[in-house]
Structure 1
């Protein structure tokens, strides 16, 4: 079934607890130090310290540093905006801009009948490189992927609805809490909602090779 296939692919795409911690620590350090010192530069430096420590730990353990590197890029962008304006709340602008871009992208992908979750599923298909859009010929897969992509649309919209008013009000501490809560925990909640959709569904797979993979996941 399509649901079994997508559930298996989503499970491999979701990172672990360590990745979520690596993403959250720079924000925690930034907010705490800013609340104590009210100095943006000091808070920015503090946010970079855990990234450096976590990256070193990954390298020493010979593990993939992708989550730390992602956190490093996000932290660097946040630092640039905060230092440029001198306002701590501007550190959250890149994240909000990214959420807005994801919101637009996922919504357009549904309207264009190329739902974003469909690509996540298709990447695991052995024939993806030869025919990256071949999965669109599987109408049931497109329908299920569209329903799952709507969950992501709601997630990104929720982030903006919560964080934009806090940004406009200059609530730095609340922004930090919202960023963490609406990051990994909210993503896990979205995946849980997707899981409920997948558990309740029983859509047959049309493509034989996808059906075989789905059967292996049962």
Structure 2
């Protein structure tokens, strides 16, 4: 009865005040759920950062490239062992181990520790370009992530027929682009300075990678959560919404 009274007699202001909390029946809630899984929680963030931080601090202290790489790998393996003992997922540890492995290949090939950060710079540059293109061609990456959960279940592309969903997904995707662009703009000049001998920027490069890793990503996700908390886009396909009985 209260829902009928609200629909029939409440003013717009009253309706907004009485609006229900975001539930799994909204696009925003689905995106928030998927983002939480992607982050892996606080523990997943720590596991992603520890090996890189260990490598950076080890090299600052010892100036030994092989030792520093080994320390980073050992840190990842220890985190993985703890996960295995607890019988929990090692997904984020494996991702971190893979990342430091690629960094080690670059650094060992050139003998320059700063090159360990080059793969991350390249990754962020490519990631930013791909995400930007996805928005420009109206296939925003966030929409692809939530596509299987909304619209017509047999056709995960049906979400594109709902302009509100496309706009929301585009805004969220731009928020993913921003941290990547910031990392490249800050870290690439530092890498260039170290690589060409203009200045010893290794410590700044390593610390910037840690500071602009998960902290910057979390800031972007916080902005996304704020944006999601403001909207209540219904989970429905455009054709279904407009179809007459």
TM-score band by shorter chain is 0.7 to 0.9
Contact kept in structure 2, 1:106 and 1:149, CA below 8 Å: yes
- Do the aligned partners of residues 38 and 150 (structure 1) sit closer, same or farther apart at CA in structure 2, a change above 3 Å counting? same
RMSD over aligned CA atoms reads 2.2
- SS of structure 2 residue aligned to 1:63: coil
- Do the aligned partners of residues 168 and 60 (structure 1) sit closer, same or farther apart at CA in structure 2, a change above 3 Å counting? same
Alignment-derived partner of residue 146 in structure 2: 121
2:236 and 2:60 mapped to 1: Cα distance? Answer: 56
State TM-score, norm by structure 1.
0.87
1:156 and 1:54 mapped to 2: Cα distance? Answer: 26
1:105-144 equivalent positions in 2, closer than 5 A: 105-125=130-150, 130-144=154-168
C-alpha offsets along residues 152-211 of structure 1, whole Å, 9 cap, x if unaligned? 111110110111111112212112211112111111110111122223334444428x99
Alignment-derived partner of residue 191 in structure 2: 167
Alignment-derived partner of residue 99 in structure 1: 124
- Do the aligned partners of residues 113 and 126 (structure 1) sit closer, same or farther apart at CA in structure 2, a change above 3 Å counting? closer
Deviation at residue 126 of structure 1 after TM alignment? 9.2
C-alpha offsets along residues 99-129 of structure 1, whole Å, 9 cap, x if unaligned? 011101100000110001112222445965x
State TM-score, norm by structure 2.
0.78
Larger Rg: 2
Between stretches 147-156 and 65-74, larger displacement belongs to 147-156
Contact kept in structure 1, 2:150 and 2:156, CA below 8 Å: no
1:23-172 equivalent positions in 2, closer than 5 A: 23-125=48-150, 130-170=154-194, 171-172=201-202
- Do the aligned partners of residues 19 and 2 (structure 1) sit closer, same or farther apart at CA in structure 2, a change above 3 Å counting? closer
Contact kept in structure 2, 1:77 and 1:94, CA below 8 Å: yes
For structure 2, which runs of at least 5 residues remain unmatched after alignment?
1-25, 195-200
Contact kept in structure 1, 2:127 and 2:180, CA below 8 Å: yes
Contact kept in structure 2, 1:9 and 1:124, CA below 8 Å: no
Deviation at residue 98 of structure 1 after TM alignment? 0.9
Between stretches 183-192 and 83-92, larger displacement belongs to 183-192
- Do the aligned partners of residues 205 and 16 (structure 1) sit closer, same or farther apart at CA in structure 2, a change above 3 Å counting? closer
Alignment-derived partner of residue 16 in structure 2: none
For structure 1, which runs of at least 5 residues remain unmatched after alignment?
212-218
Aligned length: 209
